[in-house]
Amino acid sequence: MKADFILRQHVSDTNRNGDRITRDQFTDDMQLWQRFQAGDREAFCAMYARHFSVLYHYGLQMVRDRELVKDAIQNFFIYLWEHREGLGKVQVLKAYLLVGLRRTMIRQAREAGKLLHTIDEDDKWPEIATEEPNVHLAWETRETHRELQAALSQLSQRQQEVLHLKFHAGLSYSQIAEVLNLKKDNVSYHIRQAFEKLREVMGT
């Protein structure tokens, strides 16, 4: 069955027992990946459903075009389905999918002549050891979401991107470095600089 048809149908589809296919049907991402590689249609749909939200919101960090993001996610999953037998093992599925979506979006945006908020700055930042800021305190003690969003909008696009991957996608520094093709120290640097800017803007 074609992958694009599977993706169109996955929301309302049922399994052989008549139960709704859900993202929680498979308890482990590695089990999900192995079943998907073996051609399990239910595992493919569950993988899509489980990770769509994280991929979609990350895509919107790169370009404010909802349709382009949705198309990129679908095209990436179609690619995965059609090449599943030749794909290798993955260590962290979420990070793997984010890397793949980022590459897909960059390619599609270039073809469509759209500008993405991406910066190739792998070697532009000093390799310095930094202490992780007390981010949870700064993140959780603000009274209004609107105030935080206003402050976030004053960060650089790369700073917003690393914060999104850290706190929305829940990735580690190493996983963020893999997604963005940065050194781990550079990820730490961006996060530290972002919170210094947030404290300055929000008066904390």
Give one word for 181, left, alpha or beta, with left for phi > 0 and alpha for psi -120 to 50: left
Least confident of 69-83, 86-100, 114-128: 114-128
Least confident of 126-130, 141-145, 193-197: 126-130
User: Is 20 strand, coil or helix?
Assistant: strand
User: Is 133 strand, coil or helix?
Assistant: coil
CATH among 2.60.40, 3.30.300, 3.40.50, 1.10.1740 for 3-112:
1.10.1740
Residues of the chain with CATH 1.10.10.10: 135-202
Q: To the nearest whole number, what is the mean pLDDT of the chain?
A: 76
- What is the maximum alpha-carbon separation in the chain? 57
Residue 47 near residue 36, CB atoms below 8 Å: yes
Q: Which residues contact 173 (CB under 8 A, 6 or more apart)?
A: 166, 184, 187, 188, 191
Higher pLDDT, 116 or 83: 83
- pLDDT above 70 (res 83): yes
Per-residue pLDDT tens digits for 91-114: 889 999 999 999 898 888 777 776
Residues of the chain with CATH 1.10.1740: 3-112
Name the E strands within the chain: none
* pTM of the predicted structure, to 2 decimals: 0.65
Task: List the structure tokens of 190.
Answer: 């961006």
| Cα–Cα distance, 175 to 55 (Å, whole number) | 15
Higher pLDDT, 13 or 30: 30
| Cα–Cα distance, 193 to 153 (Å, whole number) | 14
Q: Which fold has domain 135-202?
A: Arc Repressor Mutant, subunit A (1.10.10)
- pLDDT above 80 (res 193): yes
Q: Which residues pair with 14 in a beta bridge?
A: 20
